[in-house]
Amino acid sequence: MAYGTTYKFGTHYLQLGDGASSETFSAPCGTTSHTRTDNKSNNETLVPDCTDPDLPGQLVYDEVSSSMQIEFSGVVTSESIEDWTDWSDDGGEKNIKWVEPADTYTGPALLTSFSKTGEKGNRWTVSGTVTFVGKPTKAATS
């Protein structure tokens, strides 16, 4: 019997750029969950049967747009909470990298949602969504 090769959590991660002219990227401390979602928007068109218009038509789909977003969650840490809250407060684009074992995606992104949650008896948590602005640049992970 042979098993597939799997990946540990740390092989896929989000990095935020520091905005400097010689930009440095680093992974925010405290994230314990990531989800990459590729979205596709489509238009739907009904094409009728040409020989018998009473027959059901065929639906065809055309892709009209795509986007990539990274959802994250984890614990609030003093090492990274200022980065998240500053980005949330100030808005705007920030260069990010999404790193996977084979490929790295780089480009400007928006912090499209951000939450901090506290509950008595537990540590504060953070969650949010980062959405690439346009198509990210894809390169082989080195």
Q: List pLDDT tens digits, range 5-44.
A: 999 999 999 999 999 999 999 999 999 999 999 999 999 9
Residue 110's pLDDT band (boundaries 50, 70, 90)?
A: very high
SS3 content of the chain, % helix, strand, coil (to 5): 10, 55, 35
Q: Which residues contact 61 (CB under 8 A, 6 or more apart)?
A: 42, 43, 44, 45
pTM above 0.85, yes or no: yes
pLDDT tens-digit map of 113-138: 999 999 999 999 999 999 999 999 99
Report how far residue 114's alpha carbon sits from residue 22's, in angstroms, rounded to the nearest whole number.
27
Whether the pLDDT of residue 142 is over 90: the answer is: no
Q: What is the mean pLDDT of residues 66-80?
A: 96
